[in-house]
Amino acid sequence: MQEYSPQNAYDFSETGKRVFDLIANLEIPVIAAINGFALGGGLELALACDIRVASEKARLGLPEVNLGLIPGFNGTQRLPRLVGAGNAMYLMMLGEGITAQEAYNLGVVQKLSEPDQVLEDTIKLAEKIAGKSPNALRLVKEMVRNGLEMCSKDAGKMESKEFGRLFKEDQKEREEGVNAFLEKRQPNW
């Protein structure tokens, strides 16, 4: 990056954002397993995921200010939406890494694991989520992502519309889920 022109830097940032947006916009749930350092672009990659599981020994941060830079792959946008503006500015302006426990307390990380268990715990979480209604999972992700970009009133209307649509267009999955619940069995998606 030492030789980058302003245009090179812009292009680099846009490319990184496009790649991470592809991950964020997948219709399926995406879970990051963090076991070690997730600093700068590494944390920005994790922020593009829906859920983050971290080893208790992990360190996370956006230290770009220490280089005279800012996060370039949407970290300045994703982190505040996740932890609030004040917490995000605190982390980005200090440019210091935080522990996995601190990241968990702030809501950056949703689950902590022992270092030798982080991948296994992440796979178990993924398997648990994979046992849920595929259409409902897709819609949860879509509603959350789109709703963050809307005012609360419009987001609520969008949710009601999609909730109602499930009773018409995705009737098979809904019926299977309700029947499985009433019959005290696992649904067969």
d(CA 59, CA 79): 16
d(CA 189, CA 135): 10
Residue 64 is among the residues annotated as catalytic for this protein: yes
- Of 27, 56, 64, 162, the catalytic one is 64
User: Residue 186: CB partners within 8 Å, gap ≥ 6?
Assistant: 131, 180
Does residue 170 contact residue 116 with C-beta atoms inside 8 Å? no
Does residue 79 contact residue 47 with C-beta atoms inside 8 Å? yes
For 166-180, the DSSP string reads: HTTTTHHHHHHHHHH
Closest CA to 49 of 101, 110, 99: 110
- Of 3, 44, 120, 176, the catalytic one is 44
Phi and psi angles of residue 7, each rounded to the nearest 5 degrees, phi first = -70, -40
Name the residues annotated as catalytic: 44, 64
